[in-house]
Amino acid sequence: MSGGPQRLERTRKKMSFEPGLVHTPLTPFAADGRIDFERYGTLLDFHLRNGADALAVPMHAGESVSLPDEEKRALIRFVVARAGSRAPVIAHVSDAGTGIAAALARFAQEAGAAAIVTTTPYYWTPPPAMAVEHFAQIGAAVTIPLFVFNAPGEMAGSKINAAGALKLVERLPNFAGLVDDSLDWQFMIELLTDVAPVRPDFTLLAGSELLVSAAAIGAGGLFSALAVIAPKLVRRLFDLCRAQKLFEARTLQEDAGALRQILKPGGVASLKAAARIMGRDCGTPRAPLLALDGAAEKQLAVQLGALPALAEEPRGW
Amino acid sequence: MAASQGRVNLTIAERKLFAEAAVKVVAGRVPVTIHASALAVEDTMALARHAQQIGADGILAITPYFWNPSLEEIEAYFVRLCTSIDLPVLSYNSPSYLAGVEITGDLMARLIEKLPNFVGVKEASFNSEKFLEISRAALKLRPNFSMLTGVEFLLPSVPLGGIGSYSAAGSICPNLCNGLFDSCVAGEWTRARELQFKMTRLWHLFKDQYPSSLKGGMVIMGRPVGPTRAPLPTATPERQAYIRAQLEDLGILDTEPHGW
């Protein structure tokens, strides 16, 4: 017995991983700036009780770029343990250097992550060929599924194109899907046109709560940072889109759009302030981000209070 | 009269003749909107007034070319345009073609509140957020505001309140266009997806040197409308052979009408 068939079976199982509705938690910091793991555990439990099919940590909403490598590793280990059998954990391993990201990917697999997700490398604004090579090396470092996070708006325009995704499919058996935050209909359609025939279980996920158009095109998953504020809204929107009840999802999509527009200008600082307003204090962001000042937070509370969609959302933990 | 007719390469006098011919030939069978965008705003005003004189049903106008206007300037432009005629006005939002110049949801709301004849938008960002922000703001204030998409991206826009699209491919594959529209409106998303993906392959074919390739495709479909004016190239025989192969591969030659 070579163990070959079992290995193949394991690989197939891993490849068919469908993330579903993925919550992307904040990272709570204590007053001294360290990760507040006690609060983090409470936050993770909240996500797991309130509709998360999987967790992705630490995404940009979790201030991944402000966490040194050791902290990232401690955080991933902590989340895998806390989630236990309740939900799979997708580890975010993006970095500027390909080798650094690949090492973190290997660590994540050993720590028990179900999959990894990565953006284009920071700072370099790579042309398509460089981005493909970056992803290929990170993906080759592990056997768990790799998801590419395509967010040109956050990454100074750098992105993966459909041709690059097709090259990655050829190189990586574990290239399982793409999380799209380009919001670009032409790209999403082109991607699925090119990739789905070659890899039928390839998953397109929406990278933010702008889900209806993506779901019409064929997205089957969602990465949600707003779930910490409005988990019911996000879950209902996701379920309707998943059931392809797209006309029915429009009102919820408009509600999610309204919430997003309020929080978008302040980024993570607004998200953390909004979480506090909802009774789920996760502290303030780390430098270089500035916390909202008192007046801005008061104004945010007024704006959130005016959203009827938030009335049914849970307050506190 | 839109970009696919090469309106940026026509003189104002020619465009007026085109508009007159269109209104006369269509003769009320469907509404005719005249595209009034021009480099000079004064020309847009003249085209808009002319459209009204000849009995067109409405006009379409993009944000001003070239100047990278601010939101205030775009607002002033549409206020002047809409108050200078009685015809319904459709705006045209195309940030990717116009270096990021766009009509935001907030601006759309202000224009709707001020202008009773500001009736719709051809929204050609092809972007989930931009479309949603405009539809969300506009349909709340004016429920019959026409949310149209540019070219035929109906699948991602109809679920958000889109009611149609401008269609360049209609000159090549009207059956496909109608099938896509019907399946979207009926919420038959599996079929709509199949047709939208096919349509997008066609769009990628035609957007290369647009609208030269579209005219090249019309030759193949037996509906030649002549060369493209400079600075656009005219589809070469090699390009036409490539277009033919693609149309064949997509099954367009077997499923769509040939000739007039």
CA distance B175 to B155: 16
The residue in chain A having the minimum alpha-carbon distance to the alpha carbon of residue B157 is A213
pLDDT digits (tens, 9 = 90+) for B37-74: 999 999 999 999 999 999 999 999 998 888 889 999 99
Considering the domain boundaries, does residue A120 fall inside one? yes
CA distance B74 to A199: 46
Domain count, chain A: 1
Considering the domain boundaries, does residue A64 fall inside one? yes
CA distance B158 to A84: 41
Q: Residues 198..257 of B with a Cβ closer than 8 Å to A: which? A: 200-201, 203-204
Among B127, B158, B197, select the one facing A184 at the smallest CB separation: B127
Segment-wise mean pLDDT, segments of 10 residues, chain B, 260 residues: 61 96 97 95 96 98 89 96 98 84 93 98 96 97 96 96 94 97 98 97 88 92 92 89 95 96
Structure token digits, residue A31: 């007053």
Q: Note whether A159 and A191 are within 8 A (CB).
A: no
Please tell me if residue A251 touches chain B, with a CB cutoff of 8 Å.
no
Q: Inter-chain contact A185–B187, Cβ cutoff 8 Å?
A: no
Tell me which of A254, A255, A262, A264 to substitute to probe the interface with B (most B C-beta atoms closer than 10 Å): A254
CA B228 to chain centre: 18
Considering the domain boundaries, does residue A254 fall inside one? no
Within chain B, residue ranges assigned H as helices are 12-26, 41-53, 71-84, 105-114, 128-141, 174-185, 189-207, 212-220, 237-249, 252-255
Range of the domain at A49: 8-249
Residue B65: per-residue pLDDT: 84
Residues on chain A touching B126 (C-beta within 8 angstroms): 184-186
Residues on chain A touching B192 (C-beta within 8 angstroms): 216
Residue B180: per-residue pLDDT: 98
Q: How far apart are the first and last CA of chain B?
A: 19
Q: CB pairs below 8 Å between A and B: how many?
A: 75
Which amino acid is located at A254 in the chain? Answer: E
- Span A134-156, average pLDDT: 95
Residues on chain A touching B96 (C-beta within 8 angstroms): none
pLDDT digits (tens, 9 = 90+) for A10-62: 444 445 799 999 999 999 999 999 999 999 999 999 999 999 999 999 999 99
Among A184, A247, A257, select the one facing B159 at the smallest CB separation: A247
Which among B122, B100, B88, B85 has a CA at the least distance from the CA of B3? B122
Residues on chain A touching B187 (C-beta within 8 angstroms): 246-247
Considering the domain boundaries, does residue A282 fall inside one? no
Residues on chain A touching B131 (C-beta within 8 angstroms): 213
Which among B110, B92, B95 has a CA at the least distance from the CA of B146? B92
Among B153, B158, B200, select the one facing A193 at the smallest CB separation: B200
Considering the domain boundaries, does residue A131 fall inside one? yes
Indicate yes or no: pTM above 0.90. yes
How far from A280 is each of A209, A283, A315, B218, CA to CA, in Å?
Answer: 20, 9, 7, 61
Residue B4: per-residue pLDDT: 53
Q: Note whether A224 and A179 are within 8 A (CB).
A: no
Residues on chain A touching B203 (C-beta within 8 angstroms): 186
SS3 A150: strand
Among A193, A213, A257, select the one facing B136 at the smallest CB separation: A257
The residue in chain B having the minimum alpha-carbon distance to the alpha carbon of residue A243 is B189
How far from B10 is each of A221, B15, B22, B40, B193, CA to CA, in Å?
Answer: 47, 6, 15, 13, 36
Structure token digits, residue B69: 């206007």
The residue in chain B having the minimum alpha-carbon distance to the alpha carbon of residue A213 is B156
Residues on chain B touching A189 (C-beta within 8 angstroms): 196-197, 200
Residue A266: per-residue pLDDT: 95
Q: Inter-chain contact B131–A250, Cβ cutoff 8 Å?
A: no
CA distance B220 to B228: 15
Greater model confidence, A256 or B235: A256
Q: Note whether B218 and B225 are within 8 A (CB).
A: yes
Considering the domain boundaries, does residue A293 fall inside one? no
Residue B153: per-residue pLDDT: 97
Please tell me if residue A218 touches chain B, with a CB cutoff of 8 Å.
yes
Q: Would you place residue A5 in the very low, low, confident or very high pLDDT band (cuts 50, 70, 90)?
A: very low
Q: Inter-chain contact B156–A185, Cβ cutoff 8 Å?
A: yes
Per-position DSSP letters for B110-177, written without gaps between them: HHHHH-TTEEEEEE---BHHHHHHHHHHHHHH-TT-EEEESTT--TTTGGGT--EE--SGGGT-HHHH
Among B133, B156, B158, select the one facing A257 at the smallest CB separation: B133
Considering the domain boundaries, does residue A263 fall inside one? no
CB within 8 A of A148, min separation 6: which ones? A117, A118, A119, A135, A160, A165, A168, A175, A177, A178, A179
Q: Inter-chain contact A217–B196, Cβ cutoff 8 Å?
A: yes
Q: Note whether A79 and A67 are within 8 A (CB).
A: no
Q: Note whether A139 and A175 are within 8 A (CB).
A: yes
Q: Inter-chain contact B155–A184, Cβ cutoff 8 Å?
A: no
- In angstroms, the separation between the Cα of residue B231 and the nearest Cα of chain A is 26
Q: Residues 225..244 of A with a Cβ closer than 8 Å to B: which? A: 244
Max Cα separation, chain B? 52
Q: What is the mean pLDDT of chain B?
A: 93
Q: Which domains does chain B have, with CATH numbers?
A: 1-166 (3.20.20.70), 171-260 (no CATH)
Residue A12: per-residue pLDDT: 45
Q: Inter-chain contact A183–B129, Cβ cutoff 8 Å?
A: yes
Which among A110, A153, A158 has a CA at the least distance from the CA of A135? A158
Considering the domain boundaries, does residue A92 fall inside one? yes
CA distance A81 to A63: 20
CA torsion through residues A159, A161, A166, A167, sign: negative
- Span A177-200, average pLDDT: 97
CATH value at residue A67: 3.20.20.70
